[in-house]
Amino acid sequence: MIFDEMACRCGEWLRGSGPESDIVMSSRIRLARNLAEYPFIRRCNDFDRANIEVSVRERLEQSGDFDDFTFISVAELDNLDRQLLVERQLISRELSDAEGARAVAIDEAERISLMINEEDHLRLQVMKSGLDLDEAWQQINAVDDNVEQQLNYAFHPDLGYLTACPTNVGTGMRVSVMLHLPALVIAGQIDKVFNSLQKINLTVRGLYGEGSQAMGDFYQISNQVTLGKSEESLVEHVGSIVPSVISYERKARDVLIKDGNHDLFDQVSRAYGLLQNAQQISSEETMHLLSKVRMGINLGLIGDLEIPEVNKLFIQTQPAHLQKLRGGLPDSANRNRARASYLHRHLKRPKFGEDPAESN
């Protein structure tokens, strides 16, 4: 099954390349669309949902524009495979946990995913590694054009694309950039940054979107307004703010380094040491420690590990990925031990007999 292969790869958003990729993990744009001839999802019965899934799939498959997409009926997946897709950000938690007919179409590179029967009938999403919003918009715009040739979108001349929630109406567009901001967190400046972002209508969320906690110092910045502004100006708005957040983070890193911040050096070294030597470890703690290690690499404090390797560990130590890679492990205690041994194997470095810590 494709899921086993998937678990071994990193996927697009953890590729760890692209502009500003030491701080920007990924750029993402999603468009919310609904079919004109069905009620919105909350008012759909089982029959409507099944019809939507089948007709969208048939029409897109027949069009020939979606030949390199794999259609997956999410309702038919077991918990583990659904969780795997959530961890890879290919489907939302909402789609995973919903009831009834629902599906996702994913392109080969895992850059584009089309969710069917989420909060809206269709959620079209594109992800790019690093800061690359313009390219992301061009791609998803083209996908949207292709879908629109096949389906009747619910559209109102004054209000634009109609969505189940009035907070998405108009463009139906959410532009988000995922940032890794550990130095701003250490410097105690993160709330200040968020407050000023909120004043200019930008929202800050955790790693897995709405309602999720900020894990491992990862934050998503996205637009709040969807009506009254063009798609290009929304891309522009988010895209113009991100560089200043990046420069704050860089400044905070510089200051921490220049001050010879021993707390920082200590945190990085401890994190690395724990990941290498722990006997059992939860995914939350792993995420938290990997975040510190990732920053340590970017600051030149850790020389024997590369960012892509850390990104791979980020995804592969999450519960569903670990279960896929190791097989079994349904309970979390076993998983925590397996995670520790997995980290141990990937992070253990040969000793060269010059480690000052060892002689103490």
Partner 1 sequence: MKCQKCDKLATFHITDLSGDQLLALHLCAECVKEYLQPEETPPASTKVVSNVISKQLKLEQTTEELAELDHKECPVCGISFYEFRQGGRLGCPNDYVFFANELEPLLNNVHGSVEHVGKKPMRGPHDTQPQTELIKLRREMKEAVDLEDYELASELRDRIKSVEGESQP
Which residues bind to partner 1, rule: CB under 8 A? 34-43, 45, 47-48, 94, 119, 141, 144-145, 148-162, 164-171, 173, 203, 210-211, 224-231
Nearer to partner 1, 166 or 330 (CB): 166
Smallest distance from the beta carbon of 204 to partner 1, in angstroms?
11
Q: Which is nearer to partner 1, 54 or 257 (CB)?
A: 54
Task: Compare residues 181 and 302 and give the one whose CB is closer to partner 1.
Answer: 181
Would you call 314 exposed, middle or buried from its count of C-beta atoms within 10 A (0-12, 13-18, 19+)?
buried
Our CA angle for 106, 315, 179, nearest 5°, is: 90
CB atoms under 10 Å from CB of 225, counted, come to 15
In the complex, the smallest distance separating the C-beta of residue 144 from partner 1, rounded to whole angstroms, is: 8
Q: How far is the CB of 143 from partner 1 (least distance, A)?
A: 13
**Strand, coil or helix: 122:** strand
Residue 238 beta carbon to partner 1: minimum distance, rounded to whole angstroms: 15
Nearer to partner 1, 14 or 86 (CB): 86
* CA 244 to centroid of chain Cα atoms: 21
Q: Rounded distance, CA 137 to CA 126, Å?
A: 8
In the bound complex, what is the minimum distance in angstroms from residue 166's beta carbon to partner 1?
A: 6
Q: Which is nearer to partner 1, 110 or 231 (CB)?
A: 231
Tell me the closest approach of the beta carbon of residue 18 to partner 1, in angstroms. 25
Q: For residues 126 and 143, give the distance between their C-alpha atoms in angstroms, rounded to a whole number.
A: 9
Query: Rounded distance, CA 339 to CA 326, Å?
Result: 9
Which residue spans within 74-152 are E strands per DSSP?
A: 103-107, 112-116, 122-129
Q: Which is nearer to partner 1, 171 or 298 (CB)?
A: 171
Closest among 226, 176, 167 to 197, alpha carbons compared: 176
Nearer to partner 1, 141 or 341 (CB): 141
Q: Nearest distance from residue 114's CB to partner 1, in Å?
A: 17
How many Cβ atoms sit within 10 Å of the Cβ of residue 169? 17
Other beta carbons within 10 angstroms of residue 284's beta carbon come to 11
